[in-house]
Structure 1
Amino acid sequence: MKVAVMPGDGIGPEVTREAVRVLEALDLPGLTLLEGDVGGIAYQRHGHPLPAETLEIARAADAILFGAVGDPACDALERSLRPEQAILGLRSELGLFANLRPATMFPGLEALSALKSEIAARIDLLIVRELNGDVYFGEKAIETLPDGRRRGRDLMSYAEDEVRRIAHVAFRAAQGRRKRLCSVDKANVLETSQLWRDVVVEVAAEYPDVALEHMYVDNAAMQLVRDPGRFDVVVTGNLFGDILSDQASMCVGSIGLLASAALGERQTAHGTFGLYEPIHGSAPDIAGKGLANPMATILSAAMMLRHSFGREDEAARIETAVSRALADGVRGHDLGGAAGTATIGEAVLERL
């Protein structure tokens, strides 16, 4: 069981360290951890945010546990050398097109949500975000018009096979949950979204047991704060999924609690190859202070055990340990508490 550990920048090494401690405590047979540099630290050491040696480590592994990338010292670099290109590069090079982002309200944290407690208590949804297309990977340019004005341009596009494969992932996920799928687009003004909707409808014919609805992204954003309990599985494109999943994190109280998985089609001897990371960033303002909440990274490790190694029992143990720590009042600064990174990690280990 080979896991490529990529701590990255800012608070990445701190939160990843606690997740690794949890994995090691499980004493899994054959577990091997391989560490690689990514992001700003990789640029400093190797001259590129995703060095060739790190990519080789990723290819040799069965799964990747990823921390965070982002360093203000790299903001002046050309875009291809900025830390964020590490995660985009891994997704592209390894064919990781399906992002799973669950958002569930932990009992006892309802009052910490920006929503009314009785509304927040109903949150239990999964956002399935396409990762390899849309404006993030389309042609980009900043150009000068004939009259001297500057214009930025980003191409939004999807091919039907890209939509079809993410739709299948979402429908299968819905079959394993409450059998409801909401496809989010902007088909009233975007041709890319019209194609998205048409293809999702075609795929739906293969899943008669799943109830499908369509929703424009602006309405979806509104409904996510008005009545989040109405959602089971949400499938959407790269840009809309990025925004909605961060919005969902604040609905449950903190971005420090949400894990994610990026999956592709590659199968290993154990399960589906994937990259697992907390959805928060590198938070350079608190890096090195021991203040970051590692629970999202620990929960990402649980997702890794479930999807890439078929270790459902161990995954459930980790999730239960996190839930119990929260129920016992172990709260990080993001949740209004005083527990630091190591303290939270130790609390999860004790309950494990």
Structure 2
Amino acid sequence: MNDPTRAEEIAARVTAFVRETVAPFERDPRCGAHGPSEALVSELRDLARRAGLMTPHIREDGSHLAHRDTATVLRAAGLSPLGPVALNVAAPDEGNMFLLGKVANEAQKARFLAPMLSGDARSAFFMTEPAEDGGAGSDPSMLQTTARPDGNHWVIEGRKAFITGADGAKVGIVMARTEQGATLFLADLPHPAIRIERVLDTIDSSMPGGHSIVTIDKLRVPADQILGEVGKGFDYAQVRLAPARLTHCMRWHGAATRAHEIACAYAVKRHAFGKMLVDHEGVGFMLAENRIALKQAELMIDWCADVLDSGAKGTTESSMTKVAVADLLFAVADRCVQVMGGTGVSGDTIVEQVFREIRAFRIYDGPTEVHKWSLAKKIKRETLAALEQA
């Protein structure tokens, strides 16, 4: 049930916390190429707990705010790249908590979900596989990682790629192929059978642990750590993916909003050719286009959230929203860099980081082209069906 008044109250507190408490840490040397260090994550989360804002989109009884209300809160959390991490609403943890809340049994929730909700444990979702292995990427049906039963256990073997947060995670959700179909398994981390080959150097730098290539070598998992039912892994992944695509949009909307604020402040403080930069039409128009794009993105997010709140799967709507919002926000970030010139490409503000992060967002949770391809197939089916009935 939507509770916009409550969501606005939480968002106001989150906004103040992120701007006043979290943002000063953006220059902390513990923010590295592979994300904030574990020490910094711990410090930020302690501050969030003291402010009563740990995991603010999940109620004390474990239920989630409505998607529309979550959008209000997560846009506020995204005002700093460190905000989602501090508040425990970052990817992949936010999506993994949502999935476990929907699918895990009570014992699994107590063991794996509870420490995630409290912010004491990070998690990783092991699905994507290396291209050189012919493994699953945008096409999960290419899954190569296998799981075979062995008494009351399952033995999992394979390699995974671009696993966000694997380095330092305590909870793993592993997708593997069984005779019955793709299946999800819960694993305690770190584990000697799950070896990080390397942490990749990527364009983004906001997610703790970065993105890893991982080898899974004869990982033994008890049968009671199967998440849901054997063979239903793809179905459960969809439970997670549509809402997770949308929460990515929410968080990066906040980041793009902050970048726009910084660019606006620069444009009124900086003078050139006898007047403020904002008074030059080329600059003023870019900021106007940003304002329009941010509102368009907000409306798309809220529309998709309403679809999910209606109980619909929202697969098509989340694809449309992910494509539109990623492109809109990247254009916003790009214009912010352009308005600020040399300062925009420097590390003196977070604008250049937001630019990098949102560029990567156009690939996260399915590249733009994959979503468009899926939508095109749907259009083809619907059009052919309509022509047959005509």
Relative contact order: is structure 1 or structure 2 higher (C-alpha 8 Å, sep ≥ 6)? 1
- The structure carrying a bigger strand percent of its residues is 1
Larger radius of gyration: 2
Q: TM-score, structure 1 length as denominator? A: 0.31
More helix per residue: 2
